[in-house]
Amino acid sequence: MTPTDPNFYKELLDHMSDGVHFVDRDRRVLYWNEGASRLTGYKPEELVGRCCQDNTLCHVDAEGHNLCQDGCPLTASVADGGSHEAQVFLRHKQGRRVPVFVRVQPIREADGSIIGAVEIFSDDSVRHAAQRKTAEMERLAFLDQVTQLPNRRYVEMSLQTVLSEYQVHKDPFGVLVIDLDRFKAINDRFGHATGDRALREAAKTLLAALRNTDIVGRWGGDELIAVVRHVNSEILKSLAERCCILVAKTSFPNGDGSPVSMSVSVGGTLALPDDTAEGLIKRADELMYQSKTSGRGRASTK
């Protein structure tokens, strides 16, 4: 077989790992290579002669928009004569979604008129898997495994960011140090699994007690820290007291059915112009211990 033989090019295209298909101006499939069959599950005889508008492959983007109806790169290439690329999800014959990277070029007659387009699409699963793995690694690097709250590293970064913004823009914010009362007694009486659950239930309650703009994470052990933005002394006190009230109303059954009740002691302070992150936390921590010595389950703010 030589390059002058028309079957030479078909053989060449069929041995490509990428999917290749040609369409006319009406997006009717004229050619479908073996790579396209491997990626989609559809044989040439199932698609040649059919139109993309039939929506057999039902291309969608990452937001789920149907590209066969709006945003089709083939349509764009036929219309403007340019090349187009897209990351899309086609529907395999068996029903699953397959991520593919699509490249489209117009097909022209000798006089330059556009008579169709060629689409080359390649399996993008490896890239998507790598992106998911990277996102998961980033998530785990900032996630406390017990409470599913941000971990100490994330809280430190967030606090430093907010503190830098405060020093420039003077947007008021505060810090709450929140400590689960009698945590050692819970562990000793019920076991560490119950202690972990107590931390998780308290974490969920604190998320509900605070606002969407606030950040609460596990600092270590039974201590959590919240960075609360756009507050004055009254709002800071209100948030601290709400945390105490709602955690005190939180309980869950132990394995033997006996209730496990909780409370937190909270110390809160507003940022001052010359504060460092360490100084802020130290001041809030001292106020938290003031709450402990005053009887636990209460808030002290300044």
Q: Which residues are catalytic?
A: 222
Summarised one tens digit per residue, pLDDT across range 64-89 is 888 877 888 998 999 999 999 988 88
In this structure, what token pair is assigned to residue 144? 């406390």
Q: Check if the beta carbon of residue 103 is closer than 8 Å to that of residue 124.
A: no
- pLDDT higher than 90, residue 137: no
Contact 288, 171 (CB under 8 A): no
Whether residue 55 is predicted with pLDDT greater than 80 in this model: the reply is: no
- Tell me what pLDDT residue 71 has: 83
User: Which residue segments constitute the domains of the chain, with CATH numbers given?
Assistant: 6-129 (3.30.450.20), 142-301 (3.30.70.270)
pLDDT of residue 14: 76
Judge whether 270 and 233 are in contact, CB under 8 Å: yes
User: Mean pLDDT in the chain?
Assistant: 89
Sort 289 into a burial class: Cβ within 10 Å, 0-12 / 13-18 / 19+.
middle
Summarize pLDDT for 181-201 with one digit per residue, the tens: 999 998 888 888 898 999 999
pLDDT tens track for 248-291 = 988 888 877 778 889 999 999 999 999 999 999 999 999 999 99
CA triple 230-141-171, angle to 5 deg = 15
Higher pLDDT: 87 or 224? It is: 224
pLDDT at 289: 96
% residues pLDDT > 70 (the chain): 96
Residue from 96, 85, 83 nearest 122 by CA? 85
Which pLDDT band, with edges at 50, 70 and 90, does 138 fall under? Answer: confident
Lowest-pLDDT range of 45-49, 57-61, 118-122, 269-273: 57-61
Residues 6+ apart with CB under 8 A from 208: 246
**Residues contacting 30, CB < 8 A, separation 6+:** 21, 22, 23, 24, 48, 116
Q: What is the pLDDT of residue 6?
A: 57
Query: For 4-35, how does the pLDDT look when each residue is reduced to its tens digit (9 = 90+)?
Result: 555 656 777 877 889 999 999 999 999 999 99
CA dist., res. 266 & res. 243, Å (int): 8
Whole-prediction pTM: 0.60
155 and 56 Cβ atoms separated by less than 8 Å: no
pLDDT tens, 151-174?
Answer: 999 999 999 999 999 988 888 999
Quote the CA–CA distance of 115 and 96 in Å, as a whole number: 32
Give the pLDDT score at 99.
87
Query: What pLDDT score was predicted for residue 2?
Result: 44
- Which positions ≥6 away from 6 have C-beta within 8 Å? none
